[in-house]
Chains A and B, each alone.
Chain A
Amino acid sequence: MAAQSEALSARDLVARRLQGGGSDWRSWVLEGALLLSLLVAIGILFVLVSDVLMKAFPVLVERPLDFLTSTVSARAERAGIIQAIIGSVTITLIVAALAIPIGVGAAIYLEEYARDSRLSRFIRTNIRNLAGVPAIVYGLLGLAVFSTALGLGSVLLAGGLTLAVLVLPIVVITTSEALIAVPTSIREAAFGVGATRWETIRSHVLPYAAPGIFTGTILSLGRAFGETAPLLMVGAIAGTFSFVGAPWEQLGEGYTTLPTIVYHWAGYPQAEFRALGAAAIVVLLGVILLVNATAIVLRNRYDRKW
């Protein structure tokens, strides 16, 4: 009898312990704080986007096609962003053509060929530092080297080269990280059947690292697409100009880009220009969202489960 009541009380005790978790107020507070920070972040984004959309609304509704295909103009009702679109796209293409091959190549050399020496560690560290250098410093560099020393002047090519240099360290770092993530066992397997270093890299290491490399490089192109400050240093025009041509015809010409034109229009006192600026922001955001979505789709497609 006594044993039975003891057993019962033990069961009660266990039941009470198992069920009595309701007074853990600390975790409630923490959870609430975390939720609040999420709401603040989303809220700010929501306010920004809706503010931009509302300001851009008249332009986007009244003359969407005209806005996309017109040149910059001092008269708000005629102004458009075709030159900015061409400028931004061309600059991004220049960046892609230069920064991706050089950056991926540099990363392959650093991770696959270079011996682990003091020099290679020094270079690695400094590439990381370069990625943290403020964009305006790259603008000064572009002005000094491309515009002045090389004598290119304030042209589209100088802008493209400057941004290529700006995103180069980012491409190197993301590619390096993708390469480091390839298991050593894959490399050993290839070397074990008599593959050369390059055969190993080409057939196994690069395909394995491809999703990471794709994602990193595409995101860095998004960064180049949205960059403003350095382009102001190397002559992105923030005024009115009439030249419109195919991208290759523009390389040696004055240019503007979406972010620079936004910056430009935001400085005008008239509400009409601020509406134009907002509409340009919508286009810019749309393109960047598209670029990021492409990165995600590509990553998912190539990211097979090994």
Chain B
Amino acid sequence: MGAMSTTDEAEQIAPAAAGGPPMTFDGDQVVFELDDLSCYYGDFRAVREISLQVPKNKITALIGPSGCGKSTLLRSFNRMNDLVDTAHITGSVRYHGVDLYADGVDPVEVRRRIGMVFQKPNPFPKSIYDNVAFGPRIAGYRGNMDELVEQSLRRAAIWDEVKDKLKSPGTALSGGQQQRLCIARAIAVEPDVILMDEPCSALDPIATLKIEELMRELRENYTIVIVTHNMQQAARASNFTAFLTMGEDRAGYLVEMAATEELFTRPANRITEDYITGRFG
């Protein structure tokens, strides 16, 4: 389950992509397809004309310097940007072929299928149990809630640490545990995709490794898109990496996307090379 095997898989499904953008995948492997996506806050364009594809059951990392629009881009995947009054987009985000920004698409339903884990662990100020059960409850889950909670906590690799204190507040856990609780909360609604916005930036190295290990396990069942400014993390944990940077107009744009191994060893673009070798950013 190391970098070697992920590269093999990447090459199997995307032989044509080796060498540089645009990177494409077989139709049924594509979860997200962005076409000429620009994101704006009011008049300010934060993300400029991005076209890329995100493959199924893989971990796709978005890397790039601070302020290059990685988080904004990620939040356009589940319409989280809708919460900002001034945010709007041009271009399209297709999810299994459906335009997420088309008329009649319910953002609530979008977010139920496309879960999110945030930069700072944000458990609800409620019990561990209620943190996990909230999503299924509002979704009208009719099955055995105790089982679902246990299963979600197990899949998030935190069950053993919390099984004896499900009634105690989620906020009393350590930062790393809180983040795994948030992952359990996200997978409890059985989403298809999990978006992670720098999930380890507030965690210590050991907690970070646990989350990365967890991501590799979750990949079996979920498509994961992770924003990180930690290049080692992208190199360790992801199958594909998209590198963004900021243009002179301060809008983030996609420089290249490739299999992670490829991008870190043979970047097609000079800017990518400068960034991953630490010459800027």
Contacts and interface: CB of A to CB of B under 8 A. Distances in A.
A67 B108 CA distance: 61
Interface string A113-154: 001100000000000000000000000000000000000000
A204 B109 CA distance: 19
B188 interface: yes
Nearest to B82: A191
Contacts, number: 73
Interface string A265-306: 000000000000000000000000000000000000000111
B85 A193 contact: no
Contact of A188 (B80, B112, B123): B80
B108 A189 contact: no
Nearest to B136: A193
A194 B122 contact: no
Contacts of B139: 194
A192 B186 contact: yes
Contacts of A183: 122
B111 A185 contact: no
Given A188-B83, A189-B182, A199-B138, A194 B111 contact: yes
A207 B135 CA distance: 17
A69 interface: no
A187 B83 CA distance: 9
B275 interface: no
Given A185-B122, A204-B124, A191 B83 contact: yes
A195 interface: yes
Given A116-B85, A306-B125, A193 B134 contact: yes
Given A115-B85, A195-B108, A189 B122 contact: yes
A194 B109 contact: yes
Contacts of A304: 125, 169
B158 interface: no
A194 B123 contact: no
A124 to B, nearest CB: 14
A210 to B, nearest CB: 11
Contacts of A203: 134, 138
Interface residues of B, number: 30
A283 to B, nearest CB: 40
Interface in A73-127: 115-116
B120 interface: yes
A240 interface: no
A194 B125 contact: no
A208 interface: yes
Contact of A190 (B86, B124, B169): B124
B113 to A, nearest CB: 8
A268 B78 CA distance: 72
A194 B118 contact: no
A50 B171 CA distance: 48
Nearest to B120: A185
Q: Which of A116, A192, A199, A304 has the most C-beta atoms of chain B within 10 angstroms of its own C-beta? A: A192
Interface of B: 78, 80, 83, 85-86, 108-109, 111-113, 115-118, 120, 122-125, 134-135, 138-139, 169, 171, 182, 185-186, 188-189
Q: Which 9 A-B pairs have the closest CB atoms?
A: A194-B112, A193-B135, A306-B125, A185-B122, A192-B116, A189-B122, A194-B111, A115-B85, A116-B85
